[in-house]
Amino acid sequence: MPHRAEQVIDAVVAKLVTAGIAAEKHRILSYSPDMELPAISVRMGPDQPLETQNTTFIDSLLSIVITAVVSGANESEAIASLMVLRTSSHVALMADQTLGLAFISDTRYGGASAPELETLGEGIAARQETQWQIPYRMAIGNPSA
């Protein structure tokens, strides 16, 4: 079984896909002309132990980065598309804050970067990252359990 942090990433991707959002994991998204848009990626950020731990478990706080890239005919349309995707992602993750896993205690929104805009041949691409913090518990002797 994979490390619990990988299980969390898989659960985030599953929640997004279930909500009808095409998501991939561990992909760095930078706009390229041949990219199919909209695109969303879920990546692992820092994973820091919390104060709570004992001889049987470790509580940790995993940061997740969700990157969305969309396109539009102009800046306003691209930003509007980005906000629709951001809203859909937020709703999908907050619907069940345990993400369906017993070892997750919560899912917390952690902010977003400013949208980045790039001109396309006939339009605009917009990119934005949102951060999420997910506290989870793992066995002290086996991080997959």
Tens place of pLDDT per residue across the chain (145 aa): 899 999 999 999 999 999 999 899 988 766 666 677 888 999 999 999 988 667 789 999 999 999 999 999 999 999 999 999 999 999 999 999 999 999 999 999 999 999 999 887 788 999 999 999 999 999 988 998 8
Does the reported pTM lie above 0.85?
Answer: yes
Q: Are 67 and 13 in contact (CB under 8 A)?
A: no
- Asked if residue 120 lies in contact with residue 35, where contact means CB atoms within 8 angstroms, the answer is no
Both structure tokens of 111: 């902010």
One of 3.40.50.1820, 1.10.3720.10, 2.40.37.20, 3.30.2000.30 is the CATH number of 4-139, namely 3.30.2000.30
**Interior angle at CA 128, CA 137 and CA 123, nearest 5:** 155
Q: From the CB of residue 33, how many other CB atoms can be counted at a distance below 10 Å? A: 7
- Regarding beta strands 39-53 and 23-25, do their DSSP bridges make them parallel or antiparallel, or are they unpaired? parallel
Domain ranges of the chain: 4-139
Count of positions (residues) in the chain: 145
State how far the Cα of 120 lies from the Cα of 91, in Å rounded to an integer: 29
